[in-house]
Amino acid sequence: MTRKDFPSLRLSDIAAAAGVGESTVSRVLRNSGSVSEETRARVRQVVAALGYVPNRIAGTLAAAGSRVVGIVVPSLTNIVFPDLLRGAAGQLDLMGYQAVIGVSDYDGAREAELVASMLAWRPAAVMITGLEHERATPDRLRSSGARVVEMLDVDGEGLDIVVGYSNRAAAEASARHLIGRGYRRIGYVGHEISRDTRAGKRLAGFEAELARHGLALVARELHAGPSSIGAGRDGLERLLARAPALDAVYFSNDDMAIGGYFHCVARGIAIPERLALFGFNGLDVARLAPQPLATILTPRVEIGREAARLALADEPAATVDLGFILIEGATA
């Protein structure tokens, strides 16, 4: 079968077949204006019989306002972002909008490009993650007329709507928890904090809280790449080789922490007696491990949902902090 010149049906075909005007068909399809029950039924029947699918490209152009929302996430490898997407897509769907996605690989330039190409679709809103963006991005967004939602971080200035939690506060809470349990020789295993700015903020918050208690990180191990279970596993191994006397380790997130946990189990390192572990995100895998990981549960799906809702609501700019929950677990 060839792929060209498809004789696609148009509104006027339906109008002709139903013996009504185009406007009437349009009204029926959009459930707007008043149309008699009889006419409505007839048009519906013709639409179904011919299998007509309205062309939303044309509709959008004419109506000057698209039912599309662009979403740019830094990664799809960490389940955090699919969770966010899930919340957003579900809510958008409910409101009759469609999600267009882009993956930036934690690259600001890539994000800028993706935002630009999404704006070409004149989306009703653009949803991005974090508050730090390349120079051009805010300007482009502002002059587009689209609502903008920044997700997952409330530590800083937003462009329009911000929905997330405080990475700083979460890290501080983590530090206080470890200190409260008596841990003093604390290390850190993380990934590229220059690209993942939220992880960077957590590290900064964690260190600041340690400092307030007269402590400092004993050692740190940074993986040059995105977070992963493997990176956490290897990272902890290297960290312990350099600083064997640690009594606790703070990880940049749960992926890393689960890797660390696996390393300890494999090596027979007693948790939490010999070494305590603390993560971030509250992933299923962390919460259901034989020893539930001490971590911070973030309301990712809710953030996506609320972000989508606010993006399409006609409300003023605002910052919404959805908070987090510290899960004590059994590893710290």
Partner DNA sequence: ATGGGTGTTGGCAGCGCTGCCAATGCGTGC
Partner DNA sequence: GCACGCATTGGCAGCGCTGCCAACACCCAT
Binding residues for a second copy, rule: CB under 8 A, are 1, 3, 6, 8, 51, 53-58, 60-61, 66, 68, 76-77, 79, 81-83, 85-86, 89-90, 93, 98-103, 116-122, 139-140, 143-145, 147, 228-230, 233, 258-259, 262, 265-266, 284-285, 288-290, 314, 317
**β-bridge mates for residue 251, sequence order:** 189
Output 65 or 225, the one with its CB closest to DNA: 65
- Between the CA atoms of 207, 212, 217 and 220, what dihedral angle is there, to the nearest 10 degrees? 0
Output 119 or 193, the one with its CB closest to a second copy: 119
CB-based contacts of 90: which residues, under 8 Å, 6+ apart? Answer: 304, 305
- How many CB atoms within 10 Å of residue 188? 25
The listed partner (a second copy, DNA, none) that binds 173, CB under 5 to 8 Å by sort, is none
CB of 145: closest distance to DNA in angstroms?
11
CB of 61: closest distance to DNA in angstroms?
4
Peptide bond into 272 cis (omega under 30): yes
- How many CB atoms within 10 Å of residue 132? 15
Output 62 or 270, the one with its CB closest to DNA: 62
Joined tokens for residue 9? 């049906």
The listed partner (a second copy, DNA, none) that binds 45, CB under 5 to 8 Å by sort, is none
CB of 60: closest distance to DNA in angstroms?
8
**What ranges in 103-228 are assigned the alpha helix state H?**
108-119, 136-142, 167-180, 197-212
CB of 312: closest distance to DNA in angstroms?
16
Residues that bind DNA (CB under 7 A): 8, 10-12, 19-24, 26-27, 29-30, 32-40, 54-55, 58-59, 61-64
CA 259/CA 251 separation, integer angstroms? 10
**β-bridge mates for residue 177, sequence order:** none
The listed partner (a second copy, DNA, none) that binds 325, CB under 5 to 8 Å by sort, is none
Joined tokens for residue 37? 């029950």
CB of 187: closest distance to a second copy in angstroms?
20
